[in-house]
Homo-oligomer: A and B are copies of this chain.
Amino acid sequence: MITPFPTLRWIIFVALICCCVILPVRADEGMWLFDVPPTTQVKEKYGFELTPEWLQHVQQSSIRFGRRGSASFVSSQGLIMTNHHVGARNLHELSTPENNLLENGFYAKTFDDELPCSGLEILVPVSSEDVTEKVNAGATPEMSAEEAQKVRNAVIATLEKEASDKTKLRYEVTTLYQGGAYRLYGYKIYNDIRLVWAPEQTIAAFGGDPDNYEYPRYCVDCSLFRAYENGKPAKIEHFLKWSTGGVKDGELVFVSGFPGRTERSYTREHLEFQRNIYFPWRLRKLYRREVIYSAFGNRSLENQRRIADDLGGVQNYRKRAIGQLQGLQTPSLWKNIPQTKPAKNSPEEKIQNALQFAQNHYMGYDCIELGEFFNSQTFKIARMLVRLAYETEKPNSERLKEYRDGNLESLKQTLFADTPIYEDVEILKLTDSLTMLNEILNEILYGKEDKFLYFIDRDLSPKEYATELILHSKVRDVTERKRIAEGGIQAVKYSNDPMIQLALRLEPVAKKFREDYENNVEAPMTAAYAELAKKRFEKLGTSVYPDAAFTLRLSYGAVKGYKEDDGTDVVPITTIAGMFDRAEKQKFKEPFDPPKSWKDGKTKLNPNTPFNLVTTNDIIGGNSGSPLINTKGEVAGLVFDGNIYSLSNNFIYTETQSRCVSVHADVIVEALRKIYGADRIADELGK
């Protein structure tokens, strides 16, 4: 959808509100750079001094877990803590037909039992350098935006290469403040990572989808891995010690991790677009899909298995979208954004104009170019085959972005992946989206349908058409896909595969939608946001934090309950007793049935052990697996979720109800010792 280009207006206003109006002191907002930390804020509000040593220690104990999330070192022997859901892919890959590690959990009794995770690498940020001046040195005001960017890109490539040549680290230049600043980050890479311990999925994700984004919670969403070097456990200088005496209500805590992406810079008009058009439309699609998928799943266990991934995805997105829309529909969040009309020719006005166009074209772009009318793997493959044939005939620079040389490799990997595709699921999804096509076209083009529908077969019902397209298309066979890809334009053009024919007929319409949208929405918005960002950075510099960009950030906050809208008080820390209580009230029905190990071991557990907790830290997707750290720099918990109110964090942070949800450090050790007999690990954690 529309690319986000953060500006800072929001932050300023929010800071103003928080300082002057709602709260006696500033809210715990911000995903701060480690080299521009919120020292003053923390000192003022909590009386704690963020020292350079503290910061360096925490920074170098932090880990980026592949491209999936965050993690941290928790022992001198390379022990790594992250979320169970972040490491789930490895558990899946390490499972055998006899032993499903997601179901059964895993514990390596000795170093030798630790299981190597192939393909997994972790990145430890060991250095950062402000290279803004260097990057900008060659770009002159006379250059066009495009030329200037080329010059900068060249410098970036050189900086990364030079730095890498000197050391064994991996270097990446990251753009911050939409080009206001550049940082050269050096990462130490570990790529021999082994699985040490994981609990059963049923306790890692206790409460499943129903409790997702809710609170109170009871999840041991934790897995432990270990970094090896030269076949031996890595010797680690900077790691987080385990906390003593837990963490208490009101206590100051930090989160160090890799938040993925925020959009706190959206203009008022852009937020209105999100509220009025983007999210309602997104939810319309998600609602119908969730119903269709779950009705299909309910018909049989085999159906359930086939649709599980699709359904889980839809449910998660639906919950997030509802939370975000709920945030955007909260008038108190809008009151303090000035209603002034954007000035003539201002970036705000350019954004407004682009959105005016988007209003009437976004749905068509989404349905036709992004393929929402043809929701199926079969269509996606057919579309890719068609474009691959035509695009690769063109000079590289004239191709659609995803078909340029640099991207072709990964595109082909997707295209030729041999993942199972079920005919019945494909027919189900396509039938529903073709039904939606009929509805929408009728809805938005009432009375003048015929003009727009020449690209689809109008003599069949959605179900008949979907069935024909899916059953008669052969592109679900990888060999056939490869044959067509090799045959180029000829193979596509003369194919009698009905889905390829559909994709082909659709091309002129789809490309027109894309061109219009890119030219009238994306390009002007990108330019306008860059302009806005530049102005603001000139004014405010690094006195504020930049939007999240999957680089290491520090957020501060406190353990703190909140009030639900109906006035119910939510206490910040849950206990083991609370988990068993919830299970019992649900009669131990899935997903409220803890694993056998916990039910059998119940009497051994201290029922008062803290389980999960909420804090006011400002986090977002990507922070999953981040350590929750106390002022001593120790592990107080493990971030794994936000509550429903935190879902609008991508637009705006509010402290009133938005909370970060963590596994409490104590429950991890309690479980390791008493349920999993993992004393060697608990000892290693120093507990």
Partner-B contacts on A (CB < 8 A): 209-211, 214, 275-277, 280, 283-284, 286-288, 290-291, 294-295, 298-302, 315, 318-319, 325-326, 329-332, 359, 423-424, 427, 435, 438-439, 442-443, 446, 458-464, 467, 471, 565-567, 585-587, 589
Contact = CB atoms under 8 A, between A and B. Distances in A.
Contacts of A463: 326, 565
Given A291-B290, A331-B460, A280 B443 contact: yes
Contacts of A566: 423-424, 427, 467, 471
15 contacts: A210-B295, A276-B442, A277-B443, A280-B439, A284-B287, A286-B291, A291-B318, A302-B585, A325-B435, A331-B459, A331-B461, A359-B446, A463-B565, A464-B565, A471-B566
Contacts of A299: 210-211, 214
Contacts of A294: 294
Given A446-B276, A446-B359, A586-B300, A288 B283 contact: yes
Nearest to A285: B287
Per CB-CB distance, the 6 closest pairs between chain A and chain B, nearest first, are A330-B461, A276-B442, A210-B298, A280-B439, A287-B287, A287-B288
A106 B220 CA distance: 47
Contacts of A288: 283, 287
Given A294-B294, A326-B435, A330-B461, 4 more contacts: A287-B287, A300-B585, A325-B435, A423-B566
Grouping DSSP codes into helix (H, G, I), strand (E, B) and loop, the A interface class, with mixed when no group exceeds half, is: helix
A270 B461 CA distance: 19
Nearest to A470: B566
Contacts of A298: 209-210
Nearest to A359: B446
A331 B449 CA distance: 14
Contacts of A295: 209-210, 315, 319
Contacts of A319: 295
Contacts of A300: 585-586
Q: In the assembly, how many copies of this chain are there?
A: 2
B461 A326 contact: yes
A294 B315 CA distance: 11
A329 B427 contact: no
A315 B294 CA distance: 11
A301 B586 contact: yes
Nearest to A280: B439
A491 to B, nearest CB: 27
A421 to B, nearest CB: 15
Contact of A585 (B280, B301, B424, B458): B301
A277 B280 CA distance: 18
Contacts of A589: 301
A566 B461 CA distance: 13
A403 B353 CA distance: 51
A664 B442 CA distance: 43
A280 B432 CA distance: 12
A275 B326 contact: no
Contacts of A302: 585
A438 B326 CA distance: 10
A467 B291 contact: no
Nearest to A457: B331
A451 to B, nearest CB: 16
Contacts of A567: 467, 471
Nearest to A582: B300
Contacts of A460: 331
Contacts of A315: 295
Nearest to A566: B467
A565 B469 CA distance: 12
A331 B458 contact: yes
A436 to B, nearest CB: 9
A174 B625 CA distance: 71
Contacts of A423: 566
Contacts of A424: 566
B438 A329 contact: yes
Contacts of A283: 288, 439
A115 to B, nearest CB: 31
A246 to B, nearest CB: 28
Given A283-B288, A565-B464, A275 B442 contact: yes
Nearest to A295: B210
A460 B331 CA distance: 6
Contacts of A461: 326, 329-332
A282 B302 CA distance: 30
A308 B366 CA distance: 36
A503 to B, nearest CB: 22
A287 B686 CA distance: 52
Nearest to A208: B298
B301 A291 contact: no
A211 B276 CA distance: 37
Nearest to A335: B459
A611 B298 CA distance: 22
Nearest to A440: B280
Contacts of A275: 438, 442
A363 B599 CA distance: 53
A586 B461 CA distance: 31
B587 A462 contact: no
A301 B442 CA distance: 41
Contacts of A287: 284, 287-288, 290-291
Instruction: Kindly name the residue among A332, A443, A565 whose own CB sees the greatest number of chain B CB atoms within 10 A.
Output: A565
Contacts of A471: 566-567
A443 B319 CA distance: 21
A306 to B, nearest CB: 14
Q: Of A287, A424, A462, which is in contact with the most chain B CB atoms at under 10 Å from its CB? A: A287
A326 to B, nearest CB: 6
A446 B277 CA distance: 9
Contacts of A330: 461, 464
A490 B589 CA distance: 52
Nearest to A303: B210
